[in-house]
Structure 1
Amino acid sequence: MTSGVLGPTDVDALTGLLGPDGVLVVSPHLDDALLSTTGLLVRLGRPTVVATVFTRAPEQPRPVSDWDRFSGFDDASSAAWVRTEEDRVACAVLGATALHLTGVDGAYGGGGGGLDELRAVLAGVPDGTTVLLPAGIGGHRDHVRVRDDGLRWLTGRARVGVQLYADLPYAANLWHWGAEGSERVLGDRHALRTIAMFDDPPAEAVLRWVRLTAAEWAVKRRAVWAYASQLAPLSVTARGLMSCPGPLQTEAVWRVR
């Protein structure tokens, strides 16, 4: 894997970074991708780019969002700056390249061009790339928009693999999370319709569990600890967030093509 940080004007560099069999992980916010897919990425061992869509503070001052306030910030600009630095460190743990687009978090009204930039990113990935999109579990509007737009923009790219990753830690609140035999419960499009607010899920959706080994968890633990500003509110979202064993040690992806 390579490492570094790109901005939205560096999209043309993706072909060289990803090569013929790279992985592009699309992250709505600065933590979603690695919370949800670090074990899988370690296992794959391929050149990886983590593209985060919503990374910027709103241009006009606004009251701080509840999430940023719970994280200890009193203004959105400070939160955005700290989190981009955290993401740089977390991606470096995996040797992945961070790509920061310029969308504004939905908590601040959205906008800012992140989704338009994502469309250009997806248009520019080379054939052979595997693209990981959020499944939208938890129903967060930003996650659902990224999933739906991403799937639409990848229509017709038959030589690009597409998978949906279970959004952690939200997915860990499902009672059958990671249980043996739960493929029968979660492993089809009907399950995605129920748990991910997915009106028209892909017709072919094959679930794969990724149960982290001790070595994979050690890497993921280092990456997740890099998102220090997020850990307090995330721990409320998922009880025992960093426990071992715990909710982050099982990941899941649905292969949709």
Structure 2
Amino acid sequence: MTARRLVFSPHADDAVLSCYGALGPGTEVVTVFAGAPADPALLTDWDRSLGATSSRELALERRAEDLRSFAPLGLVPEQWAHLDGQYRPGEAPQRLRADMTVRVRAAAEAVTAAGGGEWEVWLPAGLLTHPDHVMVRDTGLTVCAELADEGVRPALVLYGEYPYQLFQISNHLRAAGTRSGFAWTNDHPEPFAAWAAEQFPLATAGRHHARQSRLSAADGAAKEAAIRAHASQLDVMDRQVHGQLLNRRNLRLEHWWPLHGAPAAASDLDAAGTTGATGTGGVR
């Protein structure tokens, strides 16, 4: 039976970069921070580095790239108007929790109307603690924990964000003293297991090692084409990982964690005090 999935992508490119293999028939995608700032004169440092002259115009272009990226899959992402973190410094979207609650509940109702069965909610893992990614992850886990009391219990999956994976692996290996520089490949699973055991000891108990999906050559090529649709981001992201962004071995290997349930994940977040945590990521 075709898996039914609801995938939350913080930004326009995160889902195709990180969990392309999950984007088959029966999948719905929400791009959370797809809003465009109102001020046409606004230009953030990041957007300037991309060669933009207006953050609003770039945000609108990213929305168009999002649609082009998913079109070959026959998917149309649901683009929410919440602003990217660089456009709302120090502020959290007030309606994000309510919007995610409505969306997850609606997915549950659609599954029930279709005769029931298993379904999944996919959330970013929060590697490198990018504030937008952590916000979507923590809000989604909290919402699902609350909805469990209503009988809404989707299977939960955290997907390892690419190319953040490359930095997560390299930072771990360097801290362990087993590598002095950066490793620009994502085929070292041990750092992911260490991360999961630290961040989600209950939700990933007994399976801290991430599951791995290896795309076929054809699907890997299709994924590369989908990523190339995000042309406004491509050059800068590729430079940040020393030209390895489109390394085909990396693109074909995806990492994800099935969780034991939202209440366990929410307990982990409460114990760690990480709900709403912020951090900095080298790539967007």
TM class, shorter-length? 0.7 to 0.9
Aligned length: 229
1:84 aligns with 2:63: yes
Q: Which of 186, 191, 196 matches 2:192?
A: 186
Unaligned runs of 5+ in 1: 1-18
Distance in 1 (CA, whole Å) between partners of 2:52 and 2:197 is 35
- Counterpart of 1:168 in structure 2 is 162
SS of the residue corresponding to residue 51 of structure 1 reads strand
TM-score between both structures, scaled by the size of structure 1: 0.79
- Counterpart of 1:202 in structure 2 is 203
Distance in 2 (CA, whole Å) between partners of 1:224 and 1:150 is 25
From the CA coordinates, give the structure whose radius of gyration is larger: 2
AA partner of residue 159 (structure 2): Y
Q: Which of 35, 44, 49 matches 1:70?
A: 49
Q: Which of 141, 152, 167 matches 1:151?
A: 141
1:213 aligns with 2:192: no
- Counterpart of 1:250 in structure 2 is 253
TM-score between both structures, scaled by the size of structure 2: 0.72
Deviation per CA, 1:176-223, whole angstroms, max 9, x where unpaired? 76436x3x5533xx52265xxx47762535521112221111110111
AA partner of residue 28 (structure 2): V
| CA shift for structure 1 position 61 | 5.7
| CA shift for structure 1 position 28 | 0.6
Deviation per CA, 1:41-74, whole angstroms, max 9, x where unpaired? 3xxx331111011111233466422221122211
Contact 2:43 2:54 in 1 (8 A): yes
Alignment of 1:1-257 (within 5 A): 21-41=3-23, 45-60=24-39, 63-109=42-88, 110=91, 111=93, 113-126=95-108, 127=111, 128-155=118-145, 156=148, 159-173=153-167, 174-175=169-170, 178-179=186-187, 182=189, 184-187=190-193, 190-192=194-196, 198=199, 202-204=203-205, 205=207, 207-257=210-260
Contact 2:17 2:163 in 1 (8 A): yes
Distance in 2 (CA, whole Å) between partners of 1:27 and 1:245 is 22
Distance in 2 (CA, whole Å) between partners of 1:248 and 1:239 is 15
Distance in 2 (CA, whole Å) between partners of 1:254 and 1:26 is 15
* Cα RMSD after superposing both structures: 2.6
Unaligned runs of 5+ in 2: 112-117, 174-184, 261-284
Cα gap change, 1:200/1:60 in structure 2, threshold over 3 Å: closer, same or farther?
farther
**Greater share of strand residues, 1 or 2?**
1
AA partner of residue 33 (structure 1): A
Contact 1:25 1:133 in 2 (8 A): yes
Distance in 2 (CA, whole Å) between partners of 1:229 and 1:112 is 28
Contact 2:187 2:253 in 1 (8 A): no
| CA shift for structure 1 position 235 | 1.0
